């Protein structure tokens, strides 16, 4: 699990819509990934810790990937799983 920097917009009811994120890849370089679509958005509260799970579709190096991203409400942190 990696902590990522996320650009996100919020609609009037407060639903987050992730746009793109940046993370350090295995070589240590920053990589920016655009989120093409959000397939699933659901809440979870395992161990009473509220998070929103996103299953997103993104193109990385020409290939389409399904990514599991989580947003932790208490800390406002985004994680790439």
Residue 47 binds other proteins (CB under 8 A): yes
Residue 46 CB partners (closer than 8 Å, separation 6+): none
Cα–Cα distance for residue pair 40/68, rounded to 1 Å: 9
- Least gap, CB of 81 to other proteins (angstroms): 5
- Could you tell me the two tokens for 51? 């998070």
Which one of residues 39, 44, 60, 73 is an interface residue with other proteins (CB under 8 A)?
Answer: 44
Residue pointed to by tokens 């509220």: 50
Q: Which residue, 20 or 70, has its beta carbon nearer to other proteins?
A: 70
> Using CB under 8 A as the criterion, which residues of the chain lie in contact with other proteins when the complex forms?
1, 44-49, 51, 70, 79, 81
């Amino acid at each position: 699990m990696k902590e990522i920097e996320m650009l996100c917009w919020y609609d009037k009811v407060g639903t987050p819509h992730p746009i793109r994120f940046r993370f350090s890849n295995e070589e240590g370089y920053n990589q920016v990934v655009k989120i093409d679509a959000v397939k699933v958005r659901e809440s979870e509260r395992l161990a009473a810790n509220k998070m929103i799970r996103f299953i997103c579709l993104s193109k990385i190096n020409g290939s389409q990937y399904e990514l599991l991203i989580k947003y932790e409400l208490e800390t406002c942190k985004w994680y790439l799983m």
